[in-house]
Every structure is written in C-alpha cells, then in structure tokens.
C-alpha cells in the first residue's frame, strides 16, 4: 500500500464529517483503539427548552484503508477488546482504493456490535487459555459485504445505526457483553463443605429453609464459549460461610379445602426445588411457599410439614388477609375425622375388658384396634392439615407425636364412619360412646356390599 493512502483515508473521513456538520477529533496517540471521536450535530427538538433537548450522539471510529481489493480488514485484538467494552458506539470504517488511485474510494462501515463483540471475546478467551495474553500481537478480521458500501452516506448511516438502538444503547451493549458465550451458564464451582454438613442440609439450603452453611474450601471458574479460565476467579481455602436463598422457583396456585367440603381457599405461591441433579428418591424434596404458609414434602416418602406464618408487623393486602382468616377458621374448626377418632378412642378406653372383647368380635376386622391411624401421606392432602393442627396448633393432643401415615387411602372410610357418627354424637351431650355405638360406627368402615 502506498505510504500516504492511510493519511488520505483519514483526511477524507475528516472531510466527510465536516460536510455532515459533525465534529471529528483525532486521537494524538495510536494506542487507544480509535482514530477519531465523532460528535454528530444535535438532533432538532422544536419547542423543547434547552435543558430538555437530547444530548448529541457521539461514537468512536477506527479508519482502515486498502488497495488490495479485499473486503475485510484486520483489527488488533487489544483494540477490539476496547471497542467491545467502550461505553460509546464504535465503528470500523474501511476506505477501499483502486490500485491506480484514479477512482474515488469505496467506503464501508462495520458497527462493532454483537457478532464482533462475541468473536472478540471468544478469541481473547481462547488465547488466554493457551497462555497467549499479548493481545496487541493478535488480530481479528472485520468482514464487509461486497455490496454494502455506503460511500458519501457514511455519516448518515452511522447515525442511523446508533439511533436505531434508542436511548438505552449502553445498557444493550453491556447486556451483550455480559451474555455472549455463556449459553451453558457462567461457569462452575466446587465446594467442600465443613465436617458435619449433610446432603440434607445442602438441599434445605437450596430450598431456602437454611440461612447459611459452613464450607472448608471453595473454587469458582468461569467457562465462556466452552473455554475455561486458566486460573480460578475465586478460591477460598480457609473456609467460610455461605448465605443461601432459594432461587429455582416456578409459580403455582395452592388450593386448600376443608375435609367436610364447601370451604376452599386458593392462594398464589411458588414451588421451590433443589438445583442438584439426579438426587436419589429419598433425598428429593419440594417446598411450596406462599405469603401465608409453607408446605415442605418429599414426593417419594411420607415426610410432610405444613406451617402457617404471617408477619403481623407488615401490612397485607385485604384479599390476602381474608384468605388468612379463612384458613384460620378452617384450622380452628378442625377436621371432623380427628374429632370423631378422639371421641372413639376416649370412649373405647373407658370400657370394660368384656365390652372391648365384644367390639373386637362384632366390629371385625376393625374392632381389635380402635385407634386413629392418620391419612395417606402420599395421596391425601388431609395428612398435612392434620399434622399442622396437631403439631403446631396443639389441637387433638391425644394424637401428639403419633405416627399419622396410614400408608393407604382412608378418607372415604372416615366419611362412611362420620355419616354414622354425627347423628350419634349430637345426642351425647359430652358423654362417652357406649359399646353398641362404637360397634355401629366401626362397622361403617367396611366397604359397602
């Protein structure tokens, strides 16, 4: 290339800026990644006071020139990194001269945007992984379409590119810079938990049930474009404390219904799941979190916990308050199944041995063990409600700390028994059931013939 061609290209660029009414300021040092900073003429804003008019648009430009006929140019990787991270819009402008120098140059412009930013970061990440961090010795190629010359329309084309992205240009550019290459996540980490920290506690931490965990060693590495950083971003070998919160959530609607039918409360919440893949069934656990209660259960075992909670120091929306009092009413009126069994057990325990033997024979096969066995933890929502009533609201103390998983569905059985029990109990006036009445209720537990 003739030695003066680059200077001619810069001179013609400055002239194009002047003709457009833009101000071009040339860099005095060739180490900044750009040759010119350009300030476009202010946008007309008729009727707006001076303090409300939009600021003038500016951009950084690097000028390239060629006489070889190529439709591309090389850009130092160090300069490309500056362009990728710069807060101002950046352009690479190519002046393509004919070898004889008789024809006006064709002018091409490349906005340094997502494709070039991604390629710059990928090249830098790959070279750094190979121990080649001298980026000023390496280049990326900036291609131009053969039919994409802008020539005398260069300035208006650059301004149009900038304005097409609106007033949130910097925010969008930062979004690209923070997103590209991380399709599979930011990276990975390894942690060695302190002695005594169990897998169950780690799962609870991911569900937001545990506020912190102790660890003995932590290493974090970034992986971008499939290339791992040669050194950790973070390495803590002296241990410390994790503060944890739930993050893997999905929206849901929870419907709580009275076992007696009729009353029903629906409330929005979220399902929280642990982020550990391929957990064994015995460790799988889910949390349903709502503004009024938490439900934690293991889908493959019988373990379930239900806890109502309201922060009385904070104001709640009226619809949420109404739902809260409906839930309290449902809880305080209790489950008729629990009430029925409490009366049955207390009455049975007052009987003589002879009467108990008669019940065993006449109410066979259920007369031999007159005892509340709970509900099916896997298939009947009554299990969690009963647990809450007994363990947290201190109702039906007779069943406190009792194992209440029946391991078979019993709600229909209890409904048949309750259908017989209710007319009887209304006439008791606080008295116990006699043997005949107990037999009558227990017989109703049999499947109808």
pLDDT of residue 336: 43
E runs forming strands in 77-211: 90-96, 106-111, 139-143, 187-193
Residues in the chain: 449
**Residues 398-409: b if buried by 16+ CB within 10 A, e if exposed:** ebeeeebbbeee
Of residues 62, 140, 162, the one with CA closest to residue 108: 62
pLDDT of residue 364: 83
- Total-model pTM: 0.59
For the chain, the structural domain boundaries read: 5-179, 187-243, 249-332, 334-443
pLDDT of residue 334: 47
pLDDT of residue 13: 96
Q: Determine the 3-state secondary structure of 253 from DSSP.
A: strand
Q: Please state the separation of Cα 15 from the chain's center in Å.
A: 52
| Ramachandran assignment for 187, one of left (phi > 0), alpha (psi -120 to 50 degrees), beta (any other) | left
The CATH number, out of the four listed (3.30.70.920, 1.20.1070.10, 1.10.540.10, 1.10.3190.10), of the domain defined by the range 334-443? 1.10.3190.10
Of residues 82, 59, 89, the one with CA closest to residue 136: 82
Tell whether the torsion through CA atoms of 273, 404, 381 and 385 is positive or negative.
negative
pLDDT of residue 131: 92
**Is the domain 5-179 a CATH 3.40.1350.10 member?**
yes
pLDDT of residue 160: 94
Digit-by-digit pLDDT tens for the chain (449 residues) are 555 889 999 999 999 999 999 999 998 876 778 999 999 998 877 778 878 878 889 999 999 999 888 899 999 999 999 999 999 999 999 999 987 767 889 999 999 999 999 999 999 999 999 999 899 999 999 999 988 899 999 999 999 999 999 889 999 999 999 999 999 888 888 889 999 999 999 998 888 888 889 999 999 999 999 999 888 989 998 888 888 777 678 898 887 776 555 567 788 889 998 888 888 888 888 998 888 888 888 877 767 777 777 776 778 788 877 777 777 666 555 444 577 888 888 999 999 999 999 989 898 877 788 888 888 888 877 787 777 777 766 777 888 888 888 888 888 888 888 888 888 887 777 788 899 998 998 888 887 75
| Ramachandran assignment for 427, one of left (phi > 0), alpha (psi -120 to 50 degrees), beta (any other) | alpha
- Contact criterion met (CB below 8 Å) for 142 and 110: yes
- Contact criterion met (CB below 8 Å) for 156 and 164: no
């Amino acid at each position: 290339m003739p030695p003066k061609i680059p200077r001619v290209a810069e001179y013609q660029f400055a002239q194009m800026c002047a003709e457009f009414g833009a101000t071009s300021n040339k860099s005095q040092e060739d180490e900044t990644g750009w040759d010119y900073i350009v300030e476009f003429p202010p946008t007309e804003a008729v009727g707006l006071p001076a303090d409300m008019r939009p600021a003038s648009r500016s951009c950084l430009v690097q000028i390239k020139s060629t006489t070889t006929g190529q439709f591309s140019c090389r850009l130092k990787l160090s300069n490309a990194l500056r362009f990728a991270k710069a807060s101002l819009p950046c352009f690479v402008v190519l002046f393509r001269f004919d070898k004889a120098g008789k024809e006006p140059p064709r002018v091409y412009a490349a906005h340094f945007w997502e494709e070039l930013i991604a390629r710059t970061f990928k090249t830098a990440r790959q070279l750094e992984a190979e121990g080649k961090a001298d980026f000023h010795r390496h280049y990326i190629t900036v291609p131009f379409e053969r039919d994409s010359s802008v020539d005398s329309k260069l300035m208006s084309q650059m301004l149009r590119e900038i304005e097409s992205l609106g007033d949130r240009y910097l925010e969008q550019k930062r979004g690209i810079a923070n997103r590209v290459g991380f399709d599979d996540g930011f990276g990975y980490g390894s942690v060695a938990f302190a002695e005594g920290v169990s897998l169950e506690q780690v799962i609870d931490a991911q569900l937001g049930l545990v506020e912190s965990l102790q660890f003995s060693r932590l290493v974090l590495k970034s992986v971008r474009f499939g290339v791992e950083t040669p050194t950790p971003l973070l390495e803590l070998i002296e241990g410390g404390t994790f503060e944890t919160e739930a993050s893997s959530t999905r929206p849901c609607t929870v419907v709580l219904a009275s076992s007696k039918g009729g009353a029903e409360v629906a409330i929005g919440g979220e399902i929280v799941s642990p982020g550990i893949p391929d957990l064994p069934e015995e460790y799988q656990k889910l949390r349903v979190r709502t503004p009024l209660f938490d439900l934690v259960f293991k889908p493959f075992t019988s373990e379930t916990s239900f806890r109502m909670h309201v922060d009385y120091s904070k104001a709640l929306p009226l619809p949420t308050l109404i739902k809260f009092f409906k839930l309290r009413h449902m809880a305080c009126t209790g489950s008729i199944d629990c009430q029925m069994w409490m009366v049955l057990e207390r009455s049975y325990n007052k009987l003589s041995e002879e009467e108990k033997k008669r019940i065993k024979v006449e109410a066979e096969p259920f007369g031999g063990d007159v005892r509340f066995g709970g509900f099916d933890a896997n298939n009947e929502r009554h299990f969690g409600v009963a647990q809450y009533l007994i363990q947290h609201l201190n109702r039906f103390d007779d069943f406190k700390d009792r194992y209440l998983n029946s391991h078979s569905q019993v709600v229909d059985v209890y409904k048949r028994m309750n259908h017989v029990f209710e007319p009887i109990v209304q006439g008791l006036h606080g008295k116990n059931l006699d043997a005949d009445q107990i037999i009558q209720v227990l017989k109703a537990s049999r499947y109808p013939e």
